[in-house]
Structure 1
Amino acid sequence: MKWENALKDYGLFLKIERGLSSNSVSSYTLDVKKLILFLETQNISISPILISSEVIQQFIYEAAKSLNTRSQARLISGLRSFFDYLIFEDYRADNPLELIESPKIGRKLPDTLSEEDIDQLIGAIDLSTNEGERNRAMLETLYSCGLRVSELTNLKISDLYFDEGFINVTGKGDKQRFVPIVASTIKYITIYLEQIRPHLNIQPGHEDTVFLNRRGRQLTRAMIFTIIKQLAVKIDLNKKISPHTFRHSFATHLLQNNADLRSIQLLLGHESITTTEIYVHLDKKHLTEVVEKFHPRK
């Protein structure tokens, strides 16, 4: 199937089947035309039936450089609708934008922890207990690797490549990525694995799971939330935090120390650079300092 034919049929579908106005049809088809133009510019010859999510991601990454958040979300939505139509007509079995995240418009990020906040939270853990050693290793891993809470609870011993300085993380859509892990976090995980975990009555099916509860089973997401909230109360932290706050803090602190967005995107496992870009707007004070320090008209 050629792009021109697919686009023409899609326009008729929007007009006849969905009853959209001419302006709406033009808007939807314009998103596809932008993709076609990108493919032509890059000399990529591929049909709409065979185009992959990687090529779509490349297009969105380039388009995001000149679009605001709302326009980026609109572009992704328009393309997703086009490929849903191809699935509806049995031209494709999947949507290449299924795992591509749209930027959240008007979403307020949770409070970000400072380095001092994180030190205080971890410092409040009672290390005289087995659970304390485990909790320290978990929070250090959350922060130093920028993991989602589900990625933490699903972490396997077989995913730990400490000699190489990486862990293998399984994220959304079972996508895997290698994330660097610092020496101090390796040390805390090793202490837990060698001194605490062997004394648990590990249940069948959980032999390869890193972090376990007292009954030898994988920890739940709710339990991680509870542990963090209890520590926040303990140090009288006046912020609404969750496991994801550690992930936000990881990304924000990297950005503040001049890490580039593309690297942060890869570390976080974001499908779309537009999701990562929200961190640019998180710390306006830092951005002001950057302009004042580096701009020639300071």
Structure 2
Amino acid sequence: MQIFEEYLKDKETNKPKSIILTKNYLKGFIRYVEETPVSLNNFSAEDFNKYIDWLINCHFEQNKNIELSWFKHHFAYLLTFFIWLNKQNISGFDLKHLITEESLNAIKNKIELKRQNNNIIPDIGTIFEQYKAYIEANDESKEAAKKLIIRDLLQFKEYAESKNKTFLDFTADDYEQLRHEWLKFQTYPSMPLAEQTLAKKLSNIKNFHYCLYNRGYVKTYHLSEWKGNTLLKYIFDQRSNKEPVKKRYYSNQEIIRAFKKYLNNESESITVYKQTIRDVYFFIEYLINRNKTIYKVNSDTLEEYKKYLLKYEYQPGFNYKPVLQLRQFASLKRFYNWLTFERYINENPLKDFKPLEYEIWLKDNIKEEPEHRDNVKWHDELMKGFLKYEQYKGLNEKTMLSHIKGCDHYFEYLERLGIEDIKDISKQNIRGYLMYLNSCKNRFDEQLSVNSKIKKIAGVKNFILYLEKFSFINELLSNTLEYPKQHQGLSTAGMTNSEISKLIESADGNDKRSLRDRTMFELLYSSGVRSNELCQLKINNINLDAGMVRVDCPKGGKDKERIVPIGHKACYWVRRYLREVRSNLPKSEYMFVNRLGKPFSTATVLIAVKNKLRRLHFKKKQIVTHSFRVACGTEMLKQGANLKIVQEQLGHRIIASTEKYIRLVPTDLKKAHEKYHPRS
């Protein structure tokens, strides 16, 4: 509207600070003039009364503030506008004589009458959906903010239902109780919601209640005192009145035991659970070595710990990456949030910890990464030849990658000895390497497992055999490399049929993740396939009509491919998974894929198993993905299956591997003992 633009320009020259308020208070009047045939040149008292009625209706429809105080401010700006129009000879209308106490009382009566006439109250669901639609259509906030408003309203609705009430029945006392209980809202368990966030959440409830009042759905407006600063002051005051700390000191073992229990109940991921506990243990060990306790940690302790993490080497020459150092402090913050929440301590030493600031500090202080194999050239040509030889032998990529890692580790050891020529290696430094493996740790600060040592030694041994075969070295050294003793037999814990049924049925299939897990578990148990075979399983290799699965990426290479049967229960869950979950994921030939369309890793399958096991509290602690395979073999043998049949089902190369399962099935031995032993 051109006249209004001219008025704003004139206003900006004389009173620039009032421009925003002028726009806000007059935008309704400008809209009225544009949408109706009224003219400013001939504006009359009748037009003004029609405008008031229109304005009240608009505010009711849009759930805006229609308190009398707002109208007083609005009329003040409107009066200034008409005075300017009079000076410009655009309108001769005198608004001042219409704005009196009587006219304001008349407006107040109109508002009350409008509310009283709004006596047809829809059902609760309709009211809620109407307000949601209004927020999405009219609220000027960003999309993310709108979603947060709707989330807060859903939480309010759930809270009301938990009290066996509707939000129409809420009294002033009910709202006060809600405000008090919502003080306990948490970002995640034991981490209270930030004060400003909680104040915004309560403010969204206030706006919703005002909408109910405006539309006449409730007769009394209870939340006039819920203003921004007042809400914040209330939250700060309430949170400052903490319960006293626990009366006695608790040992590290007692605290960790309680923290584990809390984390086990609250953490959704077994990975997060393990990482958090590992990081806390690492920190406690750091404190013990410096004669400090959990209770005495302060900002100086944390600064020292930052520097310690920066320099710490979990293997000679290997420091923690910045992302792992950040995770260490994130775990500690969660731990101390819990300690404060449970009142073990009074103040959280990590309350003001800012991950972004710590990340900047790490970038400024980070140690340069140790030189990698790409920068060391003396053994590159040898490794290229070794890899070509392994490809010629037909080894799969996973085996070759394992050999490369083992060789890389050995080369790092040689560099520490100052050896840069392959002809300088000897039986003495090979034996030294075997001893060196005993002192090595992984990135979790744990000793290398026997399997990890065997994999590294296997890579080195195959490399030295290659050197001997093609005369790169003159001495026979491969016999010097001895593998550490490994326990024979089934290292993997099995499960009984009842145990495995509980584990499988813990994934009820009520959501996408649960349905995916149920399908994986059913396939693992029914077919007895290995974890990596499940990850490489292709959709086209499953014949649901015949109940058969083709395993085309087995252990041992392509010549070990097999076709195995699966049960009707597994087929049912596969059909559901393909229809309800897999159809919404990226196109790929693989059965189980992530959002990028790449096949699952064995770690993903293991995490799914461990997450379910945490809730079941089985006494057996070593249950892993391979336990499904062990259970498949043992249960088939218990039911009288022929050993050769079980061998084919499991894909064992030699029957001796299958015979190990007989030890887990002692029923036949018991029967024979009762039949033939003289004192049975």
Question: TM-score band, normalised by the shorter chain?
Answer: 0.5 to 0.7
1:154-176 per-residue CA deviation (whole Å, 9 max, x = no partner) reads 00011012222211112121221
Task: Kindly indicate whether residue 596 of structure 2 is the aligned counterpart of residue 220 of structure 1.
Answer: no
CA distance in 2, matches of 1:181, 1:294: 36
Count of residues paired in the alignment: 193
- SS in structure 1 opposite 2:550? strand
Distance 1:138 1:195, change over 3 A: same
Deviation for aligned residue 1:210: 0.7
Q: Is the 8 A contact 2:637 2:665 kept in 1?
A: no
Deviation for aligned residue 1:107: 3.0
CA distance in 2, matches of 1:127, 1:162: 19
CA distance in 2, matches of 1:294, 1:195: 54
The correspondence for 1:151, drawn from 533, 536, 553, is 533
User: Which residue matches 1:265?
Assistant: 647
User: Which residue matches 1:199?
Assistant: 584
1:162-173 correspondence runs (5 A): 162-170=544-552, 171-172=554-555, 173=557
Task: Kindly indicate whether residue 631 of structure 2 is the aligned counterpart of residue 254 of structure 1.
Answer: no
User: Which residue matches 2:414?
Assistant: none
For structure 1, the residue ranges without an aligned partner over 5 or more in a row are: 1-83, 89-103
1:58-77 correspondence runs (5 A): none
1:113-192 correspondence runs (5 A): 113-170=495-552, 171-172=554-555, 173-174=557-558, 175-192=560-577
Distance 1:146 1:295, change over 3 A: farther
- SS in structure 2 opposite 1:222? helix
The correspondence for 2:661, drawn from 279, 285, 297, is 279
1:113-172 per-residue CA deviation (whole Å, 9 max, x = no partner) reads 111111111222252321111110110000000010011000001101222221111212
**Which letter does structure 2 place at the counterpart of 1:134?**
R
CA distance in 1, matches of 2:590, 2:629: 21
Distance 1:283 1:260, change over 3 A: same
Deviation for aligned residue 1:266: 0.7
**Which letter does structure 2 place at the counterpart of 1:279?**
Y
CA distance in 2, matches of 1:143, 1:294: 33
User: Which residue matches 2:375?
Assistant: none
- SS in structure 1 opposite 2:609? helix
Deviation for aligned residue 1:287: 3.0
User: Which residue matches 1:52?
Assistant: none
User: Which residue matches 1:41?
Assistant: none
CA distance in 2, matches of 1:225, 1:167: 21
CA distance in 2, matches of 1:142, 1:187: 14
User: Which residue matches 1:74?
Assistant: none
- SS in structure 2 opposite 1:168? strand
Q: Is the 8 A contact 2:539 2:590 kept in 1?
A: yes
- SS in structure 1 opposite 2:581? helix
User: Which residue matches 1:231?
Assistant: 612
For structure 2, the residue ranges without an aligned partner over 5 or more in a row are: 1-464, 470-485
Q: Is the 8 A contact 2:519 2:573 kept in 1?
A: yes
Structure with bigger RCO (C-alpha 8 Å, 6+ apart): 1
User: Which residue matches 1:245?
Assistant: 627
- Give the alignment's TM-score, normalised by structure 2: 0.27
> More helix by proportion, 1 or 2?
2
**Which letter does structure 1 place at the counterpart of 2:567?**
V
- Give the alignment's TM-score, normalised by structure 1: 0.60
CA distance in 1, matches of 2:582, 2:543: 18
CA distance in 2, matches of 1:294, 1:247: 32
Cα RMSD after superposing both structures:
2.3
Deviation for aligned residue 1:290: 3.2
Q: Is the 8 A contact 2:529 2:629 kept in 1?
A: yes
**Which letter does structure 1 place at the counterpart of 2:586?**
N
Deviation for aligned residue 1:218: 1.1
- Aligned-pair identity in percent equals 29
Deviation for aligned residue 1:295: 5.6
